[in-house]
A and B are shown apart, each in its own frame.
Chain A
Amino acid sequence: MKRSTSGALAGATVLGLLLASAGTATAQRQASTMRMHPDTSATTPHAPPGGAYQKVSALVPLPDFIPGLGTLYVDPATLPAGPFLGYDRQRNLVNSIYMIPLKDLNAQKAFSGLKVAQERVDHVDIVFNAGHPGVAEPHYHVTLWYVPPERVAELTK
């Protein structure tokens, strides 16, 4: 019961993120300091993202490449929500992941002003995660994928 409620809340969260993304896209284009990728000339962002972003495997004991998610980077100041930026083995940005603790969802905590990448979202996954180093509590992964499902499947190899 709690999980389904939290799932609905997570859905509302990502919907809010997407709406917020669309509504503020123009402002963000003008405010280059809000962009996650300092190299604005690149048509496809590549790892590493630069700025305050650090490789997750350098911060906590996790593998460099996480099957199903990619190589993750995060600005530690934004934990636990993120976004975490996921890159494939060719160092192309493939996703942004927001990690939302279950207890925050149940407490109806708001997450606003989360950064977004300037990429077209192909689809969104909302998946329960039991915890891992860095976010050691049950939480939801709200994943904005910039690649189609067949490319996502390649990340599991």
Chain B
Amino acid sequence: MRSRREFLKAGGLALVGFGLVPTRRAAGAARLWAGLDWAAVPELIEMRSDRLGSRVWFDPIGVYVEPGTTVRWIVRENVHTTTAYHPRNDRHSLRIPESAQAWDSGFLVKPGDHFDVTLSAPGVYDYYCIPHEAAGMVGRIVVGRPIGPGSEPFDAWVGRPGTEGWRDVPEAARHAFPSVARILAERRVHP
């Protein structure tokens, strides 16, 4: 499935490929296209579920973006959240860059409900869905370079000062994350 960003980029290439540039109108469109601020086009991540609520997932489950990209999570079915692995979120372990802001969308209840976050600090960002974390509904975003707490093993924080009371990443979630290497290779990893 293509994101809106991918769709727009593909559309731009298609315009060029069909040789539509020479007319005045198309030239205007090309100027508009060239001036498009790609950082302002959200990277879409869908929040999905089957009809019975038995299976739930983010799609893509892993994505690579450049620093400054806005990511938009949008509900397609069921009720979800997008919530950063961060001690401010119910004492979950830190799995986003130290300098990044934690986020929690709260419950997104209706299809079409969405939540935007702009990711500026380079690093790995792990996040989860509150009602579905134990079922393994998690996602990973690599922004620029794969660095920071999210690039470390899940238990790397254990025993470090200031981590008392932090919560482990549940077993099902650990198995669901795509590897950083796969995200870097494929850019968008689908479940």
A 61-112 contacts with B by CB, 8 A: 61-63, 68
- Contact, CB under 8 Å: A133 / B110: no
Question: Interface code B6-23, partner A: CB below 8 Å = 1, 0 otherwise?
Answer: 000000000000000000
Total count of chain B residues near the partner, CB < 8 A: 21
Look across to chain B and name the residue whose beta carbon is closest to the beta carbon of A69.
Answer: B53
* Least Cβ–Cβ distance between B106 and chain A, in angstroms: 8
Chain B at the A interface: mostly helix, strand, loop or mixed? Answer: loop
Which of B51, B55, B109, B110 is A130 in contact with, Cβ under 8 Å? B55
The size class of the interface chain A forms with chain B is 10 to 19
* Least Cβ–Cβ distance between B127 and chain A, in angstroms: 16
- Contact, CB under 8 Å: B79 / A130: no
* Interface assignment of A127: CB less than 8 Å from any CB of chain B: yes
* Interface assignment of A131: CB less than 8 Å from any CB of chain B: yes
In angstroms, Cα B134 to Cα A128, docked, is 13
Chain A at the B interface: mostly helix, strand, loop or mixed? Answer: loop
* Interface assignment of A136: CB less than 8 Å from any CB of chain B: yes
* Least Cβ–Cβ distance between B158 and chain A, in angstroms: 23
- Contact, CB under 8 Å: A130 / B137: yes
Q: Which residues of B contact A61 (CB under 8 A)?
A: 79, 106-107, 109
- Contact, CB under 8 Å: B78 / A132: yes
Q: Which residues of A contact B54 (CB under 8 A)?
A: 127-130
